[in-house]
């Protein structure tokens, strides 16, 4: 069997293959509520044949949204809206569904990418005052965030817990905590953003403390069979920032607390980052985390070709690969990968007749007559 199409277990969740769909912000919610766009977006990706679909970064508090049009799961209204979408998706697909939960910290109150992605000042329509570990703006000229005090940190932690509980209540099967891409938990980890002089700043161990507290609280709040894992930025790509050695230590600490996997990305905390882009450029970081901790790892970053993905899994660099922009461009990527690698993939029976003659055994369970 193709290594890419072998099953994978995350805690109590069985994935049919090693292809995961990474969280991708849609900037299409209304006051945090999922709508018809999310139904269309998630619905067609749910027919892709991937082993796991992870919903976009979903805010745990209103002020934790990246933009005013971000998805949220922090109220009965936002829960009901997302529940409606997921019920429709589940009615047509058995793909495992997880969610990434997030607080944007100082990168909140931003415009959608097609509106420039710049910060909305707190006194401008649609904007609000942002929060961070330290009163340091993300970019020069941006509004200075408020440094979180103990009460604020408790509110954030409790927001993550409440969001995770709501996710479980509407049937989501896995929880990914977002500690990457320069958002709040990453801001606590990185010395570029965290200049605190209390027990949550200074040393790497202190900077890890709050993200670990959040993970512990979420893990304790939901049933044990539902996996909880973390997305991390393995390096800030800035001298003196968070790096792979810190990431390995953090992953070990997460593993000790029951973390089901590490989803390894990079960057996002500083506009000074210098990233050497290229095919699979982040995979070596996932490989190192896996080699040094033994944790299940998910690799991402310009993984575009089936043979490339197959080699990542076959060589033991990661346990799964994640697709983002690539699967938006080609929503049937897993079908095409299965065809190239001699594997089988799940597809809706309404589409069984689409398989090319040379791949007549591509779709699992496909059998039909024709009048």
| Joined tokens for residue 335 | 């079908």
Nearest-angstrom CA–CA distance, 279 and 327: 15
Dist CA 73 CA 89 (whole Å)? 18
Distances (CA, A) of 193 to 18, 138, 163: 34, 8, 25
What is the dihedral angle through the alpha carbons of 359, 362, 368, 370, rounded to the nearest 10 degrees? Answer: -30
Pairing relation of β-strands 97-102 and 131-132? unpaired
- Rounded to whole angstroms, the Cα distance separating 176 from 198 reads 28
Distance CA 92, CA 80 (A): 19
Best CA proximity match to 232, nearest among 278, 290, 280, 174: 290
Q: Which structure tokens are listed for 9?
A: 């277990």
Nearest to 301 by CA among 317, 325, 319: 325
The torsion region of residue 182 among left (phi > 0), alpha (psi -120 to 50) and beta comes to left
Write down the catalytic residue from 183, 200, 281, 359: 183
Residue 183 is among the residues annotated as catalytic for this protein = yes
The DSSP 8-state label assigned to residue 63 in this structure reads G
Whole-angstrom Cα distance, residue 176 to residue 226? 11
Rounded Cα gap, residues 244 and 216, in angstroms? 22
Residue with tokens 């990453």: 186
Distance CA 6, CA 63 (A): 40
How many whole angstroms separate alpha carbon 157 and alpha carbon 297?
25
Residues with catalytic roles: 183
């Amino acid at each position: 069997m193709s290594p890419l199409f072998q099953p994978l277990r995350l805690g109590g969740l069985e994935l049919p293959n090693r292809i995961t769909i990474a969280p991708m912000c849609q900037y299409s919610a209304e006051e945090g509520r999922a709508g018809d766009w999310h139904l269309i977006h998630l619905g067609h990706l749910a027919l892709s044949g991937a082993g796991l679909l992870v919903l976009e970064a979903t805010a745990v508090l209103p002020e934790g949204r990246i933009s005013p049009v971000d998805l949220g799961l922090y109220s009965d209204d936002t829960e009901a809206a997302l529940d409606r979408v997921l019920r429709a998706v589940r009615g047509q697909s058995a793909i495992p569904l997880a969610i990434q939960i997030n607080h944007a910290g100082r990168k909140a109150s931003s415009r959608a990418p097609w509106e420039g992605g710049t910060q909305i000042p707190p006194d401008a329509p649609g904007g609000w005052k942002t929060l961070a570990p330290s009163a340091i703006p993300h970019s020069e000229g941006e509004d200075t965030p408020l440094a979180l005090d103990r009460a604020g940190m408790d509110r954030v932690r409790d927001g993550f817990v409440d969001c995770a509980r709501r996710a479980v209540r509407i049937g989501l099967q896995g929880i990914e905590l977002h500690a990457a891409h320069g958002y709040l938990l990453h801001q606590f980890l990185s010395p570029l953003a965290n200049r605190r002089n209390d027990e949550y700043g200074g040393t790497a161990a202190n900077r890890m403390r709050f993200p670990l507290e959040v993970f512990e609280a979420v893990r304790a709040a939901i049933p044990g069979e539902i996996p909880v894992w973390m997305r991390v930025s393995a390096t800030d790509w800035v001298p003196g920032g968070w790096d792979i050695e810190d990431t390995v230590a953090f992953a070990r600490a997460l593993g000790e607390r029951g973390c089901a996997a590490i989803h390894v990305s990079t960057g996002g905390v500083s506009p000074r980052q210098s990233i050497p882009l290229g095919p699979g450029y982040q995979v070596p970081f996932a490989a190192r985390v896996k080699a040094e901790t033994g944790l299940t790892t998910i690799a991402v970053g310009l993984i575009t070709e089936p043979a490339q993905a197959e080699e990542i899994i076959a060589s033991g660099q990661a346990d799964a690969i994640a697709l983002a922009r690539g699967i938006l461009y080609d929503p049937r990527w897993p079908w095409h990968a299965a065809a190239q690698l001699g594997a089988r993939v799940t597809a809706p029976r309404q589409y069984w007749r689409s398989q090319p003659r040379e791949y007549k055994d591509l779709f699992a369970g496909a059998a039909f007559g024709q009048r």
